[in-house]
Structure 1
Amino acid sequence: MTVKPCPRNHADACHAADGSVLCVSCIGQAERTLRALPALHQECLLHASPTSRRSNPTKVSGSRTRDHLNLSVLDARYSSLTALESWSQTVAALRKVTAPARSVPRLARFLVQHLEWLLAQPYAAEFADEMESVAAELRSTIDPGSGELRTAIRTCVVDNCSGTISTSLGSGAGARTGPLECSMGHAWEIGEWLNLRHLMEHQRKGADA
């Protein structure tokens, strides 16, 4: 029987485990990552507002937690849900089973149940890499480290507008606190940012089609 190497990057050569494309270490890491995603997805929501941990948790009306919003949290949460849903649909279609409802806990649990089959497929390394990338993105919103800002430049979602929207994805002092504006002057207040995020994603999917 021919022994195949694990296709993922390793400092030393690692052989694929029996019945899998990946080595034993990568198999274990893939399962741990999947099991961790629901908690990471929930935890990063607490960091959507940089002031949330300093505010009175019982305060609702007029709370300052609505004065700030870290868009990187919305991006990370949406990316994780989309990635899990996409892989779950692939498994469901090829194995002729029903995919679960669109929620991170259910999708992650479904993929764990089918993990042995998934990691025996030619795209096993791609799956493992994407799950780790998703987990890393969620963790970066929970612990941004140095707090270095990242900026995303996106096309304005208003029809026939040639402007761009620049979003700083930092936290703390770098988090945006005022209206989000495009370079041509269109603006969105904080309460409209969630809808704007969905419009951006819809626009991106249209461009990829």
Structure 2
Amino acid sequence: MALPDIHEECGRVLDGSRTRRWEERTSGRAMPGMPLNTGAVEARAAITRVLASWSGVVAEQRRTATPRREVRALAGFLLRHLDWLRGHEAVVDLAEEVAGLMRAAARVVDAPPKRGMSVGGCTVAGCGGVLVAWVARDPGKPPEVVCTETPGHRRALHEWLTPGAEPADADGDAPRPAAATTPLWLSATDIARLWQAPRGTVYRLASEKGWRRRSRSGRTLYHVGDARQSLAERGRRAAP
């Protein structure tokens, strides 16, 4: 069963220890930027969930102990019972689920990377994840802030930056309101990428509008609240 191997590949994409095949084919080296990949998080979670579910079915019907909830242990358990599974009435469903998991994980491993950056801790109370701002692949969609621990904890970047706008999560967990008011400082390159604006426009607006700035390790960083307001005004003027 190849699922454990592609599960590990998704893990290497997730933590940046592996160069994506797309990057190897096009550049021969890893692209810069935040390596965290929410698609890899979701693919790995789905593999574990499906293998654990089917292992539970086998253990219950064959009256045997379930393996530990670890992908290689789960896959090995199912392989040991493969002859029995071949005769199970739901074996077609199992085959289809495994094939779907393989396709989804392969898309993650081979996908062109989305560059992102950490913007602080998750705003949902009790969640220990890190929020990462991602540029959407679709130019018509705004950048999103997504939790690395629970991908369902997500907002559009401009919503997350608006004080008091953080929602409860889908399960009703309460947000931590203070997180959105924490100052966030980004470089002109990062601002241009997140708002999909020319870098020259960012520098011009920073000068004209007097954005707050600070220097860190020789780089000039701008206050995101100032950038958001100026770029929002620019967007409204450009709208028909």
Q: Determine the structure 1 residue equivalent to 2:82.
A: 115
Q: Determine the structure 2 residue equivalent to 1:207.
A: none
Rate the CA distance shift 1:106–1:65 in 2: closer, same or farther, 3 A: farther
Q: Determine the structure 1 residue equivalent to 2:11.
A: 45
Whether the 8 Å CA contact 2:10–2:105 is kept in 1: the answer is: yes
**Which secondary structure state, in structure 2, belongs to the residue aligned with residue 177 of structure 1?**
strand
Query: CA-to-partner distance for each residue in 1:173-203, whole Å, 9 max, x for gaps?
Result: x3332549x9xx98x7438933334879x95
Whether the 8 Å CA contact 1:88–1:111 is kept in 2: the answer is: yes
How far off is 1:67 after superposition? Answer: 3.0
Q: Name the amino acid aligned to 1:45.
A: G
Are 2:115 and 1:175 equivalent residues in the alignment? yes
Distance 1:194 1:112 in 2: 31
Rate the CA distance shift 1:36–1:52 in 2: closer, same or farther, 3 A: closer
Rate the CA distance shift 1:96–1:143 in 2: closer, same or farther, 3 A: same
**Which secondary structure state, in structure 2, belongs to the residue aligned with residue 97 of structure 1?**
coil
Are 2:81 and 1:141 equivalent residues in the alignment? no
Rate the CA distance shift 1:140–1:93 in 2: closer, same or farther, 3 A: same
Q: Determine the structure 1 residue equivalent to 2:54.
A: 87
Whether the 8 Å CA contact 1:101–1:107 is kept in 2: the answer is: yes
45-54 vs 127-136, which deviates more?
45-54
Distance 1:40 1:175 in 2: 22
How far off is 1:109 after superposition? Answer: 0.5
5+ residue gaps, structure 2, are 21-30, 133-145, 155-168, 172-240
TM-score (norm 2): 0.46
- Percent identity among equivalent residues? 26
**Which secondary structure state, in structure 2, belongs to the residue aligned with residue 48 of structure 1?**
helix
Distance 1:109 1:189 in 2: 32
TM-score (norm 1): 0.52
How far off is 1:73 after superposition? Answer: 0.2
Query: CA-to-partner distance for each residue in 1:46-87, whole Å, 9 max, x for gaps?
Result: 112568639xxxxxxxxx988342100000000000000000
Are 2:131 and 1:190 equivalent residues in the alignment? yes
Distance 2:68 2:97 in 1: 21
- Taking CA–CA contacts closer than 8 Å with sequence separation of 6 or more, which of the two structures ends up with the larger relative contact order? 1
How far off is 1:37 after superposition? Answer: 1.1
Distance 2:85 2:32 in 1: 41
4+ runs of 1 displaced by more than 4 Å?
Answer: 49-52
How far off is 1:110 after superposition? Answer: 0.5
Q: Determine the structure 2 residue equivalent to 1:22.
A: none
Are 2:96 and 1:129 equivalent residues in the alignment? yes
Whether the 8 Å CA contact 2:10–2:108 is kept in 1: the answer is: yes
Rate the CA distance shift 1:115–1:50 in 2: closer, same or farther, 3 A: same
Q: Name the amino acid aligned to 1:101.
A: R
Paired residues, number: 130
Distance 1:47 1:41 in 2: 10
Q: Determine the structure 2 residue equivalent to 1:77.
A: 44
Rate the CA distance shift 1:65–1:108 in 2: closer, same or farther, 3 A: farther
Query: CA-to-partner distance for each residue in 1:25-59, whole Å, 9 max, x for gaps?
Result: xxxxxxxxxx21111111111112568639xxxxx
5+ residue gaps, structure 1, are 1-34, 55-63, 148-171, 205-209
